């Protein structure tokens, strides 16, 4: 019996043949993909013919015009040149129509289009599919389940907790500053708002503002990293593929940052579960008081009152842990900066607060509705510096706008609240800080001011955020006089929330 043995030459020839076939197949697939992208681009060009925009590169789109430090300034130029909306090409066949007109906003926000999957999916390894990323019936079920956590009866009990966290931060500021010294406030305020959300939404007392080695400090840095990495990934053509991205240094950094964030939220859930050891404890909590955010999730999970899974629960905790502290930190930081750069308005707010609170030893729910001028200043700061600069939608059906222009199904739109708030056709002299815009009886379009988005998907925690803003601003102005650092003007950057590239540096003077 003879055995045929493949010679080395024939073996190498077979390998070479396979490589040639594989190369040919790869080339064919590449050409098919290129043809698909070309046809998609041509379809988009035709679909957007009613919406002019500056010339763009066929591959890199408008990215050259939108450098990191100048993105918002460039956007403002487009707002002044192109009415209502303007397409922005990110690359080849990826385009989003930026909307900054209140009538256009109203039409889009009245619909139920899903979030823009092309960009928002990059957030899923971090915050999972909670309220921010969910769509359709599942989103509706989660929203309905969590809405009671933000009832006014519950928010009333949080004012004291908010004030405690703010006072800890202000005490720390007194220790850190010498007379008329400067301080970067964004990081401190982020810790304060995280401290607040831990107390209010997750029933956890902590010393995270004072403990430099706490897990929460690492969490804050992880959030800062993942936001920056998300911002750069959305704008990088080569990072769109998940396999490629997770092999890059940025992808590895993002994975590590997500792990740190998840460790923090897992610990929060674990501690609360341990406190509610069994169903009897949970029933006792339910009888004694209304459930907070995490209690609602745990109760739904433990009692099988919904289809909520452990994965769903962590996604909601991750989502609200981020949304409940970072957006509010942005709002407070930029509001204090706005008041620091406008001392006449700052002083008027301070007098109003002093007449209401005296030394500020205590602040209550009722006080928060008795500071009209301070509220006007907060709203004007939110107009100039909206905490969430933009949100995205993918049109699920064709849309026609009031001026007769239309977009087909499948087009991505970006609702730019920053551009809306800086649109001179909506807000005359938009760069001027003018609280009288929000004086009682002032007339404005229902969708001209959207710091918390609008429609059915508006921010579920908007009332919580406004109350915390008022508490923080009031107590800060009672203890410090604020002035901007002329050598370190902040550079606004839209990284999910409105950050500052170089921080927000203020000059603080303790009031006697």
Annotation: binding site for heme: 459
Q: Which residue has the tokens 């590169």?
A: 57
Please compute, for residue 323, the number of CA atoms within 13 A of its CA located in the half-sphere on the CB side: 22
If 0-12 CB within 10 Å is exposed, 13-18 middle and 19+ buried, where does residue 487 land? exposed
Which residues does residue 416 pair with via DSSP β-bridges, in sequence order?
A: 390
C-alpha 16, offset from chain centre: 52
Q: Dig out the tokens for 480 from the structure.
A: 């410090």
Strand order in the sheet with 412-416: 85-91, 94-99, 412-416, 390-394
Burial of 44 (0-12, 13-18, 19+ CB in 10 A): buried
Write the burial class of residue 65 (CB in 10 Å: 0-12 exposed, 13-18 middle, 19+ buried): middle
Please report, for residues 6, 7, 15, the alpha-carbon distance to residue 3 in angstroms, rounded to integers and kept in the order given.
10, 12, 21
Structure tokens at 105: 């906003």
Backbone angles phi, psi at 435, to 5 degrees: -60, -20
Strands 181-184 and 505-510: antiparallel
With residue 154 as reference, give the H or E element that holds it.
helix 152-176
Antiparallel, parallel or unpaired: β 492-495 and 390-394: unpaired
Integer Cα distance of 432 and 246 in angstroms: 44
Q: Confirm if 419 and 354 have CB atoms less than 8 A apart.
A: no
For 247-304, give the DSSP string: HSHHHHHHHHHHHHHHHHHHHHHHHHHHHS-SHHHHHHHHHHS---HHHHHHHHHHTT
C-alpha distances out from residue 8 to 15, 22, 402, 445, Å:
11, 21, 73, 79
Output the 3-class SS for 59-121. Answer: CCECCCCCCHHHHHHHHHHHHHHCCCEEEEEEECCEEEEEECCHHHHHHHHCCCCCECHHHHH
3-state secondary structure of 177: coil
Instruction: Please state the residue numbers annotated as binding site.
Output: 459
């Amino acid at each position: 019996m003879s055995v045929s043995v493949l010679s080395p030459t024939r073996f190498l020839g077979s390998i070479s043949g396979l490589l040639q076939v594989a190369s040919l197949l790869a080339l064919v697939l590449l050409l098919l993909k290129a043809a698909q992208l070309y046809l998609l681009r041509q379809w988009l060009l035709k679909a957007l013919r009613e919406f002019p925009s500056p010339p763009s590169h066929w591959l890199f789109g408008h990215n050259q015009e939108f450098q990191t430090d100048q993105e918002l300034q460039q956007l403002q130029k487009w707002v002044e040149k192109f009415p209502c909306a303007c397409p922005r090409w990110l690359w080849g066949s990826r385009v989003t129509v930026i909307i900054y007109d209140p009538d256009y906003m109203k039409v889009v926000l009245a619909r139920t289009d899903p979030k823009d999957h092309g960009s928002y999916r990059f957030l899923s390894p971090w915050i999972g599919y909670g309220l921010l990323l969910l769509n359709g019936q599942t989103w509706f079920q989660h929203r309905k389940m969590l809405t009671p956590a933000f009832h006014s009866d519950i928010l009333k009990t949080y004012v004291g907790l908010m004030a405690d966290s703010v006072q800890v931060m202000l005490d720390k500021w007194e220790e850190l500053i010498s007379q008329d010294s400067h301080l970067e406030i964004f990081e401190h305020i982020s810790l304060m708002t995280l401290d607040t959300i831990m107390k209010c939404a997750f029933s956890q007392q902590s010393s995270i503002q004072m403990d430099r080695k706490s897990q929460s400090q690492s969490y804050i840095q992880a959030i800062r990293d993942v936001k920056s990495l998300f911002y750069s990934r959305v704008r990088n053509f080569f990072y769109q593929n998940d396999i490629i991205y997770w092999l890059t240094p940025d992808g590895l950094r993002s994975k590590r940052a997500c792990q740190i964030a998840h460790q923090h939220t897992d610990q929060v859930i674990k501690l609360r579960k341990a406190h509610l050891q069994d169903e009897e404890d949970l029933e006792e909590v339910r009888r004694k008081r209304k459930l907070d955010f995490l209690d609602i999730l745990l109760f739904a999970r433990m009692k099988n009152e919904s289809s909520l899974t452990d994965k769903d629960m962590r996604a909601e905790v991750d989502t609200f842990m981020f949304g409940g502290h970072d957006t509010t930190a942005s709002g407070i930081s930029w509001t204090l900066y706005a008041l620091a750069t406008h001392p006449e308005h700052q002083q008027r707010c301070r007098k109003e607060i002093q007449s209401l609170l005296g030394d500020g030893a205590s602040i209550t729910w009722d006080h928060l509705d008795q500071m009209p001028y301070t509220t006007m200043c907060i709203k004007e700061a939110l107009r100039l510096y909206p905490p969430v600069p933009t949100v995205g939608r993918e049109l699920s059906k064709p849309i026609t706008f009031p001026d007769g222009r239309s977009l087909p199904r499948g087009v991505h739109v970006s609702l730019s609240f920053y551009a809306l708030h800086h649109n001179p056709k909506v807000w005359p002299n938009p760069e001027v800080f003018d609280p009288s815009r929000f004086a009682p009886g002032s007339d404005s379009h229902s969708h001209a001011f959207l710091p918390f988005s609008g429609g059915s998907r508006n921010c579920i925690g908007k009332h919580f955020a406004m109350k915390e803003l008022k508490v923080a601003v009031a107590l800060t102005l009672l203890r410090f006089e604020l002035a901007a650092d002329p050598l370190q003007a902040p550079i606004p950057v839209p990284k999910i929330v409105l950050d500052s590239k170089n921080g927000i540096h203020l000059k603080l003077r303790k009031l006697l």
